Structure 1
Amino acid sequence: MLLGAGLFPLRVQAAQPVHLSATLGAEGLQGQSPVYDLNLLFFDSQGLRFELLPQYQLYQGDLYSKDGELRANRIVGDVSSLSWFKAWDFRRYSTRDNLPLSFLTAYTTLGVSQSSLTLTQNRYKAVGGVLESTEVTETLSPTQGLVQMGLYGGDSFAVVDLRLGYLFGQAKAKLLEKKVLLSNWSLVLALGVGF
């Protein structure tokens, strides 16, 4: 009993067959793009989550030297994922309990992410005392893994979701000297509607 009667003497209500929500959030660790979610839960136990992070920065490399140039790589793009959502100790509460939320659960997700990314390589070279810069791009489509854990709750038609996530995988490209590890932590606070 993670969230229930061990802390408060609450009246727990029966599970509902289907819960659907749509949320919009912000990622807080890198202060980047918005986060869009669709959640579908069955009997307050498990379900699916679709997540979209548009123009999310997955990699920012350090400057390095090659062929008399300084180079830096950056990988940015749209990351979409489909995850299995597992609720732990989902609780529905009565209005007589005087709580700000009518339901609350801890949860974990496991999923796979397909990304449409752009690798941008900036090249800098000194020519006759002048620094010239060029930009070369390459499109990448890596598949990554996703793990999340968080708290999900709401009242009436409003929902709130606070979660920590880890997105991991590799990117391989012609412009890269070697495979790049894509390893990103995210902290997301999302608000939305659900029923």
Structure 2
Amino acid sequence: MTGQQLEVRAPTLEQRMAAWGESYRASQRSLSDRAREAYALYLRWTAAGHSGDFSTTLAKHAGLSRTTAWRAWRAGYALHLGSTATTDQGDLVDAARALDNGATLAEVNTALQQHTIRDLAQQLDTGSVGRRMTADAAQLRQQVQQRLGALGLEHLPPAERDELVFRAFLTVSDETLAGIVQAYRKTTEGSEA
């Protein structure tokens, strides 16, 4: 066998790069499928009446880290809402954050294509007064958003769902509101003790 015949059989660097790209895209598809499954589990978990830290529960039963579980279901949430699937999981997590904070799906997908999704999410997360939402407040907001989604309002942008919540809040009686505040204080004071 001559050296020239041996060269023909060995893949070129470009062929190896192309093969790597195919493998990478297949892996991304697999990660997206797992993210969608994680989000479906989250929906089943909330439908069963659970609340709190889903990521810890998923991680415990799946034998994964809490961060891995959290990233997977947040990416699945973004995919469920229609974010571009041909992106990495970190970008999908930022897409979920941007969608939670009022970005439209078109804005998110444009930012994903332009590789500016983290900037968009950060801008919306910080807001005009330069303050961040606490993790507890963000989780409550997300639960409310999803409850409204269960009522068939998932097609509305998060900002409009927020407006519905504020309108509903204004219709709650003072007695009901006092009960909610009292329950909140018991929960927060009880968790600190």
TM-score, normalised to structure 2, is 0.21
TM-score, normalised to structure 1, is 0.21
Question: Which is richer in helix?
Answer: 2
